[in-house]
Amino acid sequence: MADNVTLTIDGQKVTVPAGITVLEAARQMGIDIPTFCHDPELSRPGACRICVVEIKGWRNLPPSCVTTVTEGMEVETESEAVVEARRTILDLLLANHPQDCMTCQKFGDCRLADYAYRYGLKKTTFVGEQTNVPVDESSAVITRDVNKCILCGKCVRVCAEIVGRNVVDFVSRGFTTKVSPALELGLGEKEAGCVSCGSCVAVCPVGALTEKNMQGIARPWEVKKVKTTCPYCGCGCNFDLNVKDGKVVGVTSNPTSVVNGRHLCVKGRFGYDFIHSSDRLTRPLIKKGGKDGDFVEVSWDEAIRHVASRLKEIKEKNGSEAIGVLSSARCTNEENYLMNKLARVALGTNNIDHCARL
Amino acid sequence: MTNSIGEIKECDFLFVIGSNTTETHPIISLEMRKAVSRGAKLVVVDPRKTELAKLADVHVPLKPGANIPLLNTMCNVIIAEGLYDKEFVANRTEGFEELKSAVENFTPENYAGVIGVPAETIREIARAYAKADNAAIFYTMGITQHTSGTHNVLAVANLAMLTGQIGKPSSGVNPLRGQNNVQGACDMAALPNVFPGYQGVTVPENVQKFTEFWGIPQSAKVGLTVGEMMDAAHHGDLKAMYILGENPMLSDPDINHVQQALENLEFLVVQDIFLTETAMLADVVLPGASFAEKDGTFSNTERRVQRVRKAIEPLAGKADWEVISEVLTAMGYPHKYASASEIFDEVAKVTPQYAGMSYARLEEKGLQWPCPNADHPGTKYLHEGKFSRGLGKFTGVDFEPPAELPDEEYPFVLNTGRRLYHYHTGTMTRRAKGLNAIYSEEFIEINPADAAKLSICDGELVKVSSRRGSITVKAQVTDMVQQGMVFTSFHFSEAPVNFLTNSARDSIAKIPELKVAAVKVEKVS
Ligand code: SF4
Ligand code: SF4
């Protein structure tokens, strides 16, 4: 078929749709080629070169993320030359990367560390000047440590191509290029125009962009991730609640989310700490001593019995129509359904509404 | 929404009216951006110069309440120039003649002044909308929160049906639902006029059906809406209320009236996660569980029913569904569910749109209703081939100005809405450290020309008053708002704008006119 091509990757013959890249073909076969700058949702600069492969008859090692498959192509993804090239790239990256992995928020979930481990790079062989700039803590929700940036540019592209804000870009200054908001503003400064959506955090492969409120709270392997639906707007984004010791300690993207993929807005990603707010109600309250009386904590049993008997009383005395129920657009379907039964079954009235109109 | 969020990027023409999508539905706005970068035309109708308006090919800075003039003049142009979809109108609709005569006088020239853009702009938008392969309309409260809300919605439907821009992929009418589960609360009949699945309470067969389902005689009398409940409580006709997870003391129009109403009740139960302004007035407060503490489902704006999963134990020991079942049981109507999933199975039995759903089927991607049976894949877009009522009905609607217009004493129009960083009455977002750090205080937006007239500087405190009350809030001088208009949100209890808003309601859907109230603005010295 003209629409397919057959090639060999690591000695295995495979037939794939024409037009896809060597990287995509390898991934379809379950072969894991490392990548830093590549992201299926974003444009492809082919810049970091960590995904290079060896192709029979080619003089250079091409980056697999921008190389299209052709008929009869013979690809090696882990040949000696490939491994050597990757080691050199990693060596150069480590040369300008802080080695404070132990306290890094990304520890355990860092691509640079993963690949250094995979290719056995204990430390860099280059010695020279390292980027040393203050960590940008100006944003209320994102910690930006430029020293850890490997210049993959994914944050630049996600902000421009998906979020449409162009907050950060490559800026060149002296011996280093770095990624920064215009005029080297802090990310949190109003003029930078950042809407704190955290999509850049979601795509950053290293510890350069991390969630501020998760710093020092939990290691990636300590958290249980529970996929759920956002409690805020009607878009219905999904994400993972990160749970440690029975507490919600963070929100991270879950790429399998059908509506939003890895993207969220500031509310969904950073708006969860009301859950453990110190003024959450934890005990039922009954106002004793009339309308101007004080709330007294009571047991669930007492509260529920009181509610039921007062409602029954009023229903008997004044009729069903004297009672109204307001349900909630924030509660679940199941709860709304039960509120509808509370009104229609227990109280015997259609006086039920919620704030759909507001 | 008749379409799905995933279809937006394939639209050729986006007509966004009365929706500040970037702030209220951020993820949907990303899909709109994708469409625009693919070359789609974007028209934004909004009295404010929102971010989306800046991205638009055409921004119509609509004068307050002028939705119907705009929609009707577009229909007028489309009919006059023969651009309507004759086949669609003939085969799928009725009442075309009624529409034709209703919009006859709505020539762009007659209404350009009321709308606020030149006649030619209206013509161009109308033509482009009619001619687009896949045009979709998006709207939110800018359409509905008016005394003419129901008519506005009908006018939107007229436009879509006239041009056949509905019932196709990437083409339809898309109200964006504001809160996470407004869609679901409506589906589940937290409404006075329907049983679950929009089965009207006045239809005898439905009353019969639910009487059998639930084993308790059902009433065929339409119940009271929120606003009517407040009025009834005020008059002393309503004696008790049970309020779950809502804060009408901040969200509803004319707060003074709400407070008097709630104080007048003999018995008020509030179930919430915080001691809200409303809970303070209660006789009994039952602690609620947050979304992280319970299993369940939410239905999003594209009718997708998705799982909510319990991540931690309820802080107060019980999920809300457990509390409600216990109240039901204590009242003498035993309800015992072992899990939220069991409740959902009951929902599926009585709600036709949910009939084919179960937690097992929702596990991965959820399902979009209608999903009538266990093999049905769910429905991406509505009204393919047929409307739910059969033929789509055109309804001619006339222009009615808002209930309260500016005058000498109250010269400004107050418009209200939402901000990106906060949600509803702020009970959750105001307690989120990051969000509150970014947006910690509310402002009222005022145009530079108006500010200059009143010698108000950016950041200065102003007193804003209407016939119903007054608040003090900082001014933000910005050309986001047009002259003669001020804008703020209802998220902040320090600036409770609903002390000012008008509770005048649409006579059909009973939606209060939160988008237009007359106010005066004074410098606080
Ligand atoms: S948080 Fe969002 S807006 Fe801000 S820089 Fe990152 S991607 Fe851009
Ligand atoms: S993350 Fe933001 S856009 Fe998504 S559902 Fe939540 S509030 Fe809406």
State the DSSP string of B356-399: T--HHHHTTT-EESP--STT----SSS-SSSBTTBSEE------
Residue A356: which of B510, B136, B125, B199 has the closest Cα? B510
Strand partners, B241: A324, B268
CA of A159 vs chain B CAs: smallest distance (Å): 11
Q: Does B315 touch chain A (CB under 8 A)?
A: yes
CA distances to A61, A232, A266, B299, B365 from B182, in Å: 55, 11, 21, 8, 19
- How many CB atoms lie under 10 A from the CB of residue B462? 21
Q: Does residue B263 register a pLDDT over 80?
A: yes
Question: B404: which 2 tokens?
Answer: 């309260």
pLDDT band at residue B507 using 50, 70 and 90 as cut-offs:
low
Collapsed DSSP state (helix, strand, coil) of residue B14: strand
- Residue B112 inside a domain? The answer is yes
pLDDT score of B142:
66
Which tokens in the block code for residue A129? 């000047």
Region B92-116: mean pLDDT is 91
Number of CB atoms found within 10 A of residue A239's CB: 25
| Cα–Cα nearest to A335, from B197, B223, B288 | B288
Contact A357/B509, CB-based, under 8 Å?
A: yes
- Cross-chain Cβ contact A337/B275 below 8 Å: no
Query: B337 with B321: CB under 8 angstroms?
Result: yes
* Ligand 1 centroid, distance to A212 Cα (angstroms): 14
Residue of chain B nearest A267, judged by CA positions: B421
Tell me how far apart the alpha carbons of residues B201 and A98 are, in angstroms, rounded to a whole number.
Answer: 67
Phi-psi region of A251 (alpha: psi -120 to 50; beta: other; left: phi over 0): beta
What residue in B sits closest to A338 (Cα-Cα)? Answer: B324
Q: What are phi and psi of B195, to 5 degrees?
A: -90, 170
The confidence score (pLDDT) of residue B509 equals 65
- For residue A229, list chain B residues with Cβ-Cβ distance below 8 A: 180, 291, 297-298, 300, 306-308
Ligand closest to the CA atom of residue B178: 2
**Mean model confidence pLDDT for chain A:** 92
List phi, psi (to 5°) of B412: -105, 150
Which residue type, as a one-letter code, is found at position B328?
L
For residue A358, the model assigns a pLDDT of 54
Q: Is the CB of A264 under 6 A from ligand 2?
A: yes
**Range with lowest mean pLDDT among B34-38, B152-156, B205-209:** B152-156
- Segment B329-371, tens digit of pLDDT: 999 999 999 999 999 999 999 999 999 999 999 999 999 999 9
Answer yes or no: do B308 and B238 share one domain.
no
B46, two tokens = 């909004």
Give the H or E element holding residue A31: none
Q: How confident is the model at residue A123 (pLDDT cuts 50, 70, 90)?
A: confident
Pocket (CB within 6 angstroms of ligand 1): A 158-159, 163, 165, 167-168, 194-200
The whole-angstrom separation of Cα A220 and Cα A217 is 10
Are the Cβ atoms of B366 and A258 closer than 8 angstroms?
Answer: yes
**Which residues from chain B sit within 8 angstroms of residue A338, using beta carbons?**
321, 324-325, 328, 335, 343
Sole residue written with tokens 């003649």: B97
pLDDT at A174 over 60: no
Question: Lowest-confidence range among A63-77, A247-261, B427-441?
Answer: B427-441
Q: Are residues B517 and B459 in the same domain?
A: yes
Pairing of strands B284-287, A285-288: antiparallel
CB A94 within 8 A of CB A101: no
Whole-number percent of chain A with pLDDT over 70: 98
Burial (CB count within 10 angstroms: exposed 0-12, middle 13-18, buried 19+), residue B216: middle
Q: Kindly report, residue by residue over A12-27, the tens digit of the pLDDT.
A: 999 999 999 999 999 9
Ligand 2, atom 8: nearest CA belongs to which residue? A233
Instruction: Give B430-465 pLDDT, tens digit per residue.
Output: 888 888 888 888 889 999 999 999 999 999 999 998
Alpha carbon distance, N-terminus to C-terminus of chain A: 57
CA distance A116 to chain B (A): 34
Low-confidence winner among A245-249, B188-192, B290-294, B520-524 (lowest mean pLDDT): B520-524
Residue B456 shares a structural domain with residue B319:
no
A220-280 is a CATH 2.20.25.90 domain: yes
- Picking from B227, B225, B244, the residue whose alpha carbon sits closest to that of residue B284 is B244
* CA separation for the pair A198, A218 (Å, rounded): 18
The better pLDDT of the pair B169, A127 is held by: B169
- Contacts with B315 from chain A: Cβ below 8 Å: 276, 280, 282
Q: Which of A79-88, A91-100, A161-170, B246-255 comes out lowest in average pLDDT?
A: B246-255
Which of B264, B280, B296 is where one domain is finished? B280
pLDDT band per the 50, 70, 90 thresholds, residue A2: low
CB-CB contact of A332 with A340 (8 Å): no
At B152 the pLDDT is: 86
Find residue A325's DSSP bridge partners: A352, B242
- CA count, 13 A, side-chain hemisphere, B106: 29
Is B137 in the same domain as B196?
Answer: no
The atom number, within ligand 2, closest to the CA of A260 reads 4
Say if B178 is an interface residue toward chain A (CB within 8 Å): yes
Q: Does B35 touch chain A (CB under 8 A)?
A: no
Q: What is the mean pLDDT of residues A116-135?
A: 86
Integer Cα distance of B235 and A175 in angstroms: 76
Q: Rounded to an integer, what distance in angstroms lies between the CA atom of residue B157 and that of residue B75?
A: 11
Pairing of strands A294-297, A285-288: antiparallel
Provide the CATH number for the domain around residue B463: 2.40.40.20
Closest CA relative to residue A244, chosen from A252, A236, A233:
A252
- Rounded Cα distance between B399 and B406, Å, is 18
Q: What is the pLDDT of residue B149?
A: 72
Torsion angle of the four alpha carbons A91, A96, A97, A99, in this order, in degrees rounded to the nearest 10: 80
ipTM: 0.91
pLDDT in tens, B41-54: 999 999 889 889 99
Q: Are B134 and B171 in contact (CB under 8 A)?
A: yes
**Exposure letters A274-296 (e unless 16+ CB within 10 A, then b):** bbebeebbebbbbbeeeeeeebe
Same domain for B353 and B363, yes or no, is: yes
- What 3-state DSSP class applies to B30? helix
- What per-residue confidence (pLDDT) applies to A357? 59
Chain A interface, mutation test: which of B23, B51, B182, most A Cβ atoms within 10 Å?
B182
Identify whether B154 is part of a domain.
yes
Q: Residue B219: its pLDDT value, please? A: 94
Handedness of CA B416, B421, B422, B423 (dihedral sign): positive
Length of chain B: 525
Tell me whether residue B118 is in a domain. Answer: yes
pLDDT value, residue B501: 78
| Beta-sheet strands, E only, within B410-479 | 412-417, 443-446, 461-465, 470-477
**Contact in structure between B5 and B28 (CB atoms under 8 Å):** yes
Contact B190 A303 (CB under 8 A): no
| CA count, 13 A, side-chain hemisphere, B295 | 12
Taking the Cβ of residue B288 and every Cβ of chain A, the question of whether any pair is shorter than 8 Å is answered with yes
Q: Could you tell me if residue B432 is inside a domain?
A: yes
Query: Of B179, B241, B310, which has the smallest distance from its Cβ to A330's Cβ?
Result: B179
B511: contact with A, CB 8 A cutoff: yes
Question: What is the pTM for the complete model shown?
Answer: 0.92
Cα–Cα distance for residue pair B97/B86, rounded to 1 Å? 13
Cβ contact A332–B177 (<8 Å): no
Give Cα separations from B350 to A346, B308, B327, B346, B353 (angstroms): 18, 21, 22, 7, 9
Q: Which domain holds residue B329?
A: 178-219+288-371
* Interchain pair B434, A196: CB under 8 A: yes
Residue of chain B whose alpha carbon sits nearest to that of A325: B242
- Is A307–B286 a contact, with Cβ atoms under 8 angstroms apart? yes
Closest CA to B195 of A137, A270, A341: A341
Distance in angstroms between the alpha carbons of the first and the last residue of chain B: 48
Q: Are residues B10 and B140 in the same domain?
A: yes
Closest CA to A33 of A82, A95, A68: A82
pLDDT interval class at B140 (50, 70, 90): confident
Cα(A130)–Cα(A134) distance, integer angstroms: 13
Judge contact between A251 and A268, C-beta under 8 A.
Answer: yes
Alpha carbon of A178: minimum distance to chain B alpha carbons (Å): 25
Closest approach of chain A CAs to the CA of B439, in angstroms? 10
Q: Which residues does chain B have within 8 Å of residue A281's beta carbon, measured at their own beta carbons?
A: 272-275, 279, 285, 287-288, 316
Q: Is A93 touching ligand 2 by the criterion CB < 6 Å?
A: no
pLDDT at B179: 86
pLDDT score of B141 more than 80: no
Alpha carbon of B101: minimum distance to chain A alpha carbons (Å):
31
Helix %, strand %, coil % of chain A (to 5): 30, 20, 50
Q: How many structural domains compose chain B?
A: 4
Chain A: closest CA distance from residue B460 (Å): 19
pLDDT of residue B500: 79
Report which secondary-structure segment, H or E, holds A54.
Answer: strand A54-55
> In the structure, what pLDDT confidence band is assigned to residue B502 with cuts at 50, 70 and 90?
confident
Q: Which two tokens stand for residue A226?
A: 């529970």
Nearest Cβ partner of B181 from A237, A295, A329? A329
The domain A4-78 having CATH identifier 3.10.20.740: the answer here is: yes
Minimal Cβ distance to B178: which of A229, A234, A342: A234
Same domain, B56 and B118: yes
B403 assigned to some structural domain: no
- Structural domain ending residue among the three candidates B153, B176, B199: B176
B231-248 burial, b if ≥16 CB within 10 A, otherwise e? bbbbeeebbbbbbbbbbb
Q: Of B226, B265, B245, which is closest to residue B323 (Cα–Cα)? A: B245
A198 lines ligand 2 (CB under 6 A): no
Chain A CB within 8 Å of residue B310 CB: yes
Planar angle of CA B159, B162, B167, nearest 5 degrees: 90
Q: Cβ–Cβ of A287/B283 closer than 8 Å?
A: yes
Q: Given this model, what pLDDT does residue A175 score? A: 61
pLDDT in tens, B59-81: 999 888 888 999 999 999 999 99
Same domain? B419 vs B319: no
List the domain boundaries for chain A. Answer: 4-78, 220-280, 281-318, 323-358
CATH number of the domain that residue B116 is part of:
3.40.228.10
Of B191, B213, B217, which Cα lies nearest the Cα of B351? B213
Look at residue B180 and give its three-state secondary structure. Answer: coil
Mean pLDDT, range A22-41, rounded to an integer: 95
Average pLDDT, whole number, for chain B?
A: 90
